[in-house]
Structure 1
Amino acid sequence: MTDSEDDDSAHVAADDSGLGLARGTVELVSHDPSWHDAYEREVERLRPRLGPHVVGFEHVGSTAVPGLAAKPIVDVLVLVAHLDETDEVARVLTDAGYEERPNDAVPDRRFFARGPSSCRTHYLSVTERGSDCHRDQVSFRDALRADPDLAAEYERQKRALAEAHADEREAYTDAKSAFVQSVLDDCDSD
């Protein structure tokens, strides 16, 4: 590990200490406005490393929706021109402390996690600009941001599911999928 990587780890520990959740578990916490700052810091850290390989970044997931309770893990979308040309992006992300995780449920992305399995702090999806993954994540985030009642209903469902599936992240995620899909269907019909 290089000195700069050591500095990056300390930076996250010092600035993003409210982030982190053990892999496979579900715990929701009240929205923390510093989640946006944690996203911005991560983009600032990654942008110079990824350079021309990336065409954009998006803060997605529940931490990107003001007021919405969430798992304390920041979701980052890294947008690329061509997903089949991301081996260098994957190498850079690995060097920056990310672990690539297979994700068969989402065919148009490469998925990475940051932090030890006992304390994941960031999830990062590499996908093509305009892909289904990109459109769906941004559309869902924007729908929740635009409609406080919809966000409140999503939070109610998430809290009930988190209680029922505290140690079963996959079951929690699967149980949310019908709600998410209904919101995306409404977005598509607009």
Structure 2
Amino acid sequence: MRRTHDEMAMLIRERICIAQDECEMLLHEGELAQSFGVSRTPIRQVLQLLAYEGLVETRTGIGTVTTPLHEENRQRDGQVHQALLLAAAACACPVHIPEGARASLLTARDMLTDRPFSRDRLFSAESRLLEAADSLIPDTILSAAFRAASWRNLRWTMRQPEPALMQRATRMAAMLSRAADIARSDDSAEVLRFLSRPLG
């Protein structure tokens, strides 16, 4: 079955984020095109999007590889993600919160509470949270920076051992319920401020 551009991008993001190997992952255009049943052109477009999001980079003579994460940057990367959420809250417009954003928060919560834990399910819930938060950020530059920081932060999150991820899923489900409640107030700044709090 042919996948859409967005579906291919999300599947490749998932492969990158869930990968346990700390080595760089080489992404072969031809193999990806064959596995998705498309030509190389849409794969190149998806890889360009992922490069824009900071998930991959192109190296001369090698090809497209996952952008390396450096342990010494882990804490700073988390701080950047939090700071961007706070900046988005400071710039938020008093506009109606789309019902889709609230529904995404509740769907993400249900993914974590209705079924047994899995890394795939946690990734899906985190992705929905990212999309919901991003829908509240009206500035395109801030949105792009937030998305890049969020994907990098998610890669760090998914490197944790399974017991830590299971605890995160439990805390995240409660946080998503509260965020959905706050979203009823139509105060996007308050939702973004709440989401900036560490789950710890």
**Structure with the larger RCO, 1 or 2 (CA within 8 Å, 6+ apart):** 2
Q: TM-score, normalised by structure 1?
A: 0.29
Q: TM-score, normalised by structure 2?
A: 0.28
Bigger helix fraction: 2
Bigger strand fraction: 1
Larger Rg: 2
